[in-house]
Amino acid sequence: MTDTVRTDGRRCDQLRPIRFQNHIAPHAAGSTLIEWGNTRVICAATVEESVPRWMKDQKVPGGWLSAEYSMLPYSTLDRKARDISKLKLDGRSQEIQRLIGRSLRAVVDLERLGARTLCIDCDVLQADGGTRTASITGAFVAVSLAIAKLQSAGLLNDNPITGSVAAVSMGVFNGVPLLDLNYPEDKDASVDMNLVMNDRGQFIELQAAGEEATFSDSELAALLALGRKGIQELIVAQRQALITP
């Protein structure tokens, strides 16, 4: 099954090529451009030396981490209107930015962060499937760079990052479980799944749905096995990106 060759030449258990370009946004505390196949997302972390009002009102100790996600108008084949033109946030964008925030908060000790907010912005430059998983995977690199900057400036004594987090998509396409779907595969997949895990092999979030279809126990097991393999490779890629000057 893993020898199956896809339309882009990959095996069914193979990730698309991944590249990180760090410090892409010089005014951010930490940033990276993640290029994952033909999907490209700028992930940037900025620091605000304050916390949301609800934390102050409820006397919640520590800091906060929030995320925003947007697809730029030219990121897709047909121009995507900006949310501001509709005067409300697109429901899909809202769902994804909440997912990014939850995923990063799972590996950041907010009490150790101190009374400050990490704001994560994920802007999709080009979409070819997996923009939410690329955003999470790139956002972790951006957050790590921002934390390192805070530590080097003497603003943090203890590193609040408790582990790595990465995300990958899987799906069933033409009856075959596949890892890391590109847009043509994602568009016509009968089952679509997104997996978020930490570097200890623990689940943070699992999203799975049949697209007018059902899936079996064996297909679920096959998809999870592909996802775990992909997450391990992504965490290695993140570590390499963070030791690159």
pLDDT of residue 75: 87
Residue 219 counted as domain residue = yes
Residue 11 counted as domain residue = no
Residue 1 reports pLDDT greater than 60: no
Residue 99 counted as domain residue = yes
Residue 72 reports pLDDT greater than 90: no
- Host domain of residue 65: 18-243
Structure-token pair, residue 60: 């919640």
Residue 6 counted as domain residue = no
Residue 13 CB-density burial (10 A; 0-12 exposed, 13-18 middle, 19+ buried): buried
The pLDDT tens digits of the residues spanning 26-63 come to 999 999 999 999 999 999 999 999 999 999 999 999 99
CATH of the domain at 102: 3.30.230.70
CA distance linking residue 22 with residue 242, whole number of Å? 8
pLDDT of residue 200: 96
Residue 55 counted as domain residue = yes
Predicted model pTM: 0.93
pLDDT of residue 82: 75
Tell me what the mean pLDDT of segment 57-76 comes to: 91
What pairs with residue 195 in β-bridges? 168, 206
170 neighbors 195 (Cβ within 8 angstroms):
yes
Residue 167 counted as domain residue = yes
Residue 13 counted as domain residue = no
More confident residue, 85 or 8: 8
pLDDT of residue 78: 79
Overall number of domains in the chain: 1
pLDDT of residue 6: 85
- Which long-range contacts does 24-29 make (Cβ < 8 Å, 24+ apart)? 28/121, 28/142, 28/146, 29/145, 29/146, 29/149, 29/150
Residue 229 counted as domain residue = yes
Query: In sequence order, what are the residues at sequence separation of 6 or more whose Cβ sits closer than 8 angstroms to the Cβ of residue 26?
Result: none
Q: How far apart are the first and last CA of the chain?
A: 39
Can you say how many angstroms the Cα of residue 160 is from the centroid of all Cα atoms in its chain? 19
The pLDDT tens digits of the residues spanning 134-185 come to 999 999 999 999 999 999 999 998 999 999 999 999 999 999 999 999 999 9
The pLDDT tens digits of the residues spanning 195-245 come to 999 999 999 999 999 988 899 999 999 999 999 999 999 999 999 999 966
Query: In sequence order, what are the residues at sequence separation of 6 or more whose Cβ sits closer than 8 angstroms to the Cβ of residue 241?
Result: 20, 22, 32, 141
